[in-house]
Amino acid sequence: MTTTCITCDRFTLKPRSGAGQEHLTASDRAHARVGMGRCLNESLALRWIGGESPACEKHVPVSEEQVAQRREWIKGRTV
């Protein structure tokens, strides 16, 4: 079984917030609806990555429960 980004602690579906990032917040929400999030690893934080993309060598696993919650959240918001 391939390890994917959605199973990593660094993967997030949460939109950015803060002054001057409103345009990115809207894009983050739109991408999250289709299963794309961001890696909190500094070099990748500005890109959207598909949750089912193969994980990198810095993968930090989360619980199966958290993975299931992420997938359910995406499933409930698909367009």
**Residue 79 confidence (pLDDT) above 60:** no
pLDDT digits (tens, 9 = 90+) for 67-77: 999 999 998 87
Q: How far apart are CA 54 and CA 39, in angstroms?
A: 12
**What are the domain boundaries of the chain?**
5-75
The mean pLDDT of 45-69, rounded to a whole number, is 92
Instruction: Summarize pLDDT for 3-14 with one digit per residue, the tens.
Output: 999 999 999 999
| Cβ–Cβ under 8 Å, residues 30 and 69 | no
